[in-house]
Amino acid sequence: MRLKKMMLLASCMLLTTTLASCNNGDDTLSGTSNNSHISNVPSDVLDIEFWTTTGKGIEENIAKLADDFEEIIYENEGRKINFSINNQGNYDGIKDKITQGLSTGNYPTIAIAYPDHVASYMADKPGSVVNLLPLINDKKIGFTKETIEELDDKYGVDDFVQAYYQEGTNYAQEGVYSLPFLKSSEVMVVNQDYVLGQTFGRDRPIQKNDLANMTWDELMDICKYIVENKDSIKGLPADLETPLWIDSDSNFFITQSMQRGIPYLGDGDTPDTKVLFNNPQAKEMVNEFYDCYNKGYFTTKGNNGGDYGSNAFKEGKVLITLGSSGGVGYNDLGASSIEGVGVYKIPSAAKNEEDSLYVSQGITLCIMSNEGHGGAQLDQERINYAFRFIKYLLNPENNVRLALSSEGYVPVRESAINSAKYQAYLEYDSELLVKTAKCVINDINGAYYNLPIFKGSDVARTAVEGIVGRFSQVKAGGKTINELFEEAENQAKASL
pLDDT, tens digit (0-9, with 9 covering 90-100), for 102-116: 999 999 999 999 999
Task: Evaluate whether residue 468 is within a structural domain.
Answer: yes
Does position 27 have pLDDT exceeding 50, yes or no?
Answer: no
- Write the CATH number for 415: 3.40.190.10
Does position 5 have pLDDT exceeding 80, yes or no?
Answer: no
| pLDDT tens, residue by residue, 33-80 | 333 333 344 558 999 999 999 999 999 999 999 999 999 999 999 999
Whether 339 and 196 have beta carbons less than 8 Å apart is answered as yes
The residue type of 21 is S
What pLDDT is stored for residue 478 in this prediction?
94
Asked whether residue 153 falls in the same domain as residue 195, the answer is no
Does position 188 have pLDDT exceeding 70, yes or no?
Answer: yes
| pLDDT tens, residue by residue, 163-182 | 999 999 999 999 999 999 99
Asked whether residue 115 falls in the same domain as residue 244, the answer is no
Task: Evaluate whether residue 465 is within a structural domain.
Answer: yes
Sign of CA dihedral 395, 400, 406, 412: positive
Distance between CA atoms of 491 and 463, rounded to whole angstroms?
6
Asked whether residue 220 falls in the same domain as residue 331, the answer is yes
Q: Which of 375, 403, 425 is the last residue of a domain?
A: 425
Task: Evaluate whether residue 466 is within a structural domain.
Answer: yes
Structurally, the chain folds into a number of domains equal to 2
What pLDDT is stored for residue 30 in this prediction?
55
Mean pLDDT over 177-198 rounds to: 98
pTM, full prediction:
0.89
Q: Which of 375, 404, 425 is the last residue of a domain?
A: 425
Strand order in the sheet with 361-367: 81-87, 46-52, 110-112, 361-367, 179-184
What pLDDT is stored for residue 274 in this prediction?
98
| pLDDT tens, residue by residue, 235-261 | 999 999 999 999 999 999 999 999 999
What pLDDT is stored for residue 414 in this prediction?
97
Asked whether residue 245 falls in the same domain as residue 306, the answer is yes
Mean pLDDT over 186-213 rounds to: 97
What pLDDT is stored for residue 395 in this prediction?
97
Whether 339 and 430 have beta carbons less than 8 Å apart is answered as no
DSSP state of 97: H
What pLDDT is stored for residue 43 in this prediction?
54
Distance between CA atoms of 84 and 485, rounded to whole angstroms?
43
What pLDDT is stored for residue 408 in this prediction?
86
What pLDDT is stored for residue 208 in this prediction?
98
Does position 31 have pLDDT exceeding 70, yes or no?
Answer: no
Strand partners, 189: 321, 343
15/116: higher pLDDT: 116
Asked whether residue 336 falls in the same domain as residue 467, the answer is yes
Distance between CA atoms of 450 and 464, rounded to whole angstroms?
17
Q: If residue 399 lies in a helix (H) or strand (E), which one and from where to where?
A: helix 396-404
Distance between CA atoms of 111 and 12, rounded to whole angstroms?
16
Q: If residue 102 lies in a helix (H) or strand (E), which one and from where to where?
A: none
Q: If residue 185 lies in a helix (H) or strand (E), which one and from where to where?
A: none
Asked whether residue 354 falls in the same domain as residue 212, the answer is yes
Asked whether residue 353 falls in the same domain as residue 375, the answer is no
Mean pLDDT over 220-246 rounds to: 97
Does position 430 have pLDDT exceeding 90, yes or no?
Answer: no
**Domain containing residue 36:** 4-183+362-425
Asked whether residue 207 falls in the same domain as residue 168, the answer is no
Whether 305 and 285 have beta carbons less than 8 Å apart is answered as no
Longest dimension (CA), the chain: 82
Task: Evaluate whether residue 31 is within a structural domain.
Answer: yes
Among residues 491, 492, 464, 488, which one has the least CA distance to residue 289?
A: 464
What pLDDT is stored for residue 445 in this prediction?
93
Q: Which of 425, 446, 465 is the last residue of a domain?
A: 425
Asked whether residue 157 falls in the same domain as residue 197, the answer is no
Task: Evaluate whether residue 446 is within a structural domain.
Answer: no
Task: Evaluate whether residue 224 is within a structural domain.
Answer: yes
Asked whether residue 38 falls in the same domain as residue 150, the answer is yes
Mean per-residue pLDDT over the chain, rounded: 92
Asked whether residue 171 falls in the same domain as residue 41, the answer is yes
Whether 117 and 129 have beta carbons less than 8 Å apart is answered as no
Does position 312 have pLDDT exceeding 90, yes or no?
Answer: yes
Does position 24 have pLDDT exceeding 90, yes or no?
Answer: no
Whether 243 and 223 have beta carbons less than 8 Å apart is answered as yes
DSSP state of 410: B
Task: Evaluate whether residue 448 is within a structural domain.
Answer: no
Q: How many residues does the structure list for the chain?
A: 496
Model confidence at 199, pLDDT cuts 50, 70, 90, reads very high
Asked whether residue 374 falls in the same domain as residue 305, the answer is no
Whether 83 and 66 have beta carbons less than 8 Å apart is answered as yes
What pLDDT is stored for residue 22 in this prediction?
35
Does position 490 have pLDDT exceeding 60, yes or no?
Answer: yes
What pLDDT is stored for residue 493 in this prediction?
98
What pLDDT is stored for residue 40 in this prediction?
43
Task: Evaluate whether residue 440 is within a structural domain.
Answer: no
Question: In which region does residue 15 sit, left (phi positive, over 0), alpha (psi from -120 to 50) or beta (all else)?
Answer: beta
| pLDDT tens, residue by residue, 334-392 | 999 999 999 999 999 999 999 999 999 999 999 999 999 999 999 999 999 999 999 99
